[in-house]
């Protein structure tokens, strides 16, 4: 991860370059956020007392896996003769690749870009991020950026007159995300055990962002 909301916002920036094909843009936005759902594997391992090493920013950030993933969608689409499933697969492939590259550039950590064939690619090897940021502010900021992603979707929906029936619900979820941000902004600095409630809130919020993207696909797929 960079923050999931940043990935979401970056994905929306390419929509003007994207050909208008059903579910393609939806796939790109989902694909930009999906790789950090490897947090589920980390959460499972943590709660079961297993080793969490090698679970985050590995298989889900590997272009080998991403290519295989897109290929499976392509085959299903060809088999069922449903082109939009193929569009979705291409979109997911593009989006997940964008995610892995953005992590490489701005996340101050390595990414196993060629997992399982090659170790970590790390542009930040010699750099130590400031203590107030590392595993502290950056964590709380997850919720801030998801809130900003929701605000962006809301403003686009108002402009394009799409998903009008969902905007009230979206506003409530935006407030939930701002509240999580404020709560964790305190917790990360005062309580070493913050990461268990953080993990729960994070997985919930990332799933929420994926769900809302699907719910608002009309807005996401508007080509301005
Ligand atoms: Zn990531």
Dihedrals phi, psi of 120, to nearest 5 degrees = -75, 140
pLDDT at residue 217, rounded to an integer:
97
Give me the pLDDT at residue 106, please.
84
Q: Is 109 exposed, middle or buried (0-12, 13-18, 19+ CB in 10 A)?
A: middle
For residue 4, the CA-to-ligand 1 centroid distance in Å is 8
The rounded Å distance from CA 1 to ligand 1 centre is 3
Rounded Cα gap, residues 218 and 178, in angstroms: 25
Instruction: Say what the pLDDT of residue 188 is.
Output: 95
The pLDDT value recorded for residue 224 is 53
Check whether the bond before 177 is cis (ω within 30° of 0): no
Tell me how far the alpha carbon of residue 8 lies from the centroid of ligand 1, in angstroms: 12
Below-70 pLDDT ranges, the chain: 1, 224
Nearest Cα residue to 93 out of 76, 113, 68, 124: 68
Q: What is the CA radius of gyration of the chain?
A: 18
pLDDT of residue 145: 97
CB 123 within 8 A of CB 104: yes
What pLDDT is attached to residue 1?
56
pLDDT score for 92: 96
CA of 34 to the centre of ligand 1 (A): 8
Q: How far is the CA of 36 from the centre of ligand 1 (A)?
A: 5
Q: Give residue limits of the domains in the chain.
A: 4-220
Q: Give 111's strand partners.
A: 121
Task: State the pLDDT at residue 33.
Answer: 97
What confidence tens digit (pLDDT) does each residue in 8-50 have? 999 999 998 899 999 999 999 999 999 999 999 999 998 898 9
Backbone angles phi, psi at 16, to 5 degrees: -75, -20
Residue 100 alpha carbon to ligand 1 centre in Å: 6
| 61 Cβ neighbours under 8 A, 6+ residues apart | 35, 38, 96, 99, 100, 103, 111, 112, 113, 115
Q: What is the pTM of this model?
A: 0.94
Rounded to the nearest angstrom, the distance between the alpha carbon of 80 and the centre of ligand 1 is 32
């Amino acid at each position: 991860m960079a923050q999931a909301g940043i990935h979401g916002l970056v994905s929306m920036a390419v929509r003007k370059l994207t050909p208008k094909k059903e579910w393609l843009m939806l796939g790109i936005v989902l694909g930009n956020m999906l790789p950090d759902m490897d947090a589920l594997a980390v959460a499972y391992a943590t709660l079961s007392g297993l080793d969490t090493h090698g679970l985050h920013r590995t298989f889900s950030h590997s272009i080998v896996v991403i290519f295989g993933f897109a290929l499976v969608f392509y085959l299903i689409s060809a088999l069922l003769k449903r082109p939009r499933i193929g569009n979705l697969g291409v979109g997911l492939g593009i989006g997940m690749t964008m995610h892995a590259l953005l992590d490489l550039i701005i996340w101050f950590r390595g990414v196993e870009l060629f997992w399982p064939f090659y170790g970590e690619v790390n542009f930040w090897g010699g750099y130590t991020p400031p203590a107030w940021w590392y595993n502290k502010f950056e964590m709380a900021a997850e919720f801030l950026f998801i809130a900003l992603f929701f605000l962006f979707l809301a403003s686009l929906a108002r402009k394009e007159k799409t998903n009008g029936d969902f905007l009230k619900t979206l506003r409530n979820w935006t407030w939930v995300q701002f509240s999580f941000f404020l709560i964790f902004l305190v917790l990360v600095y005062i309580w070493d055990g913050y990461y268990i409630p953080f993990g729960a809130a994070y997985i919930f919020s990332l799933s929420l962002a994926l769900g809302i993207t699907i719910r608002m696909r009309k807005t996401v797929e508007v080509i301005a």
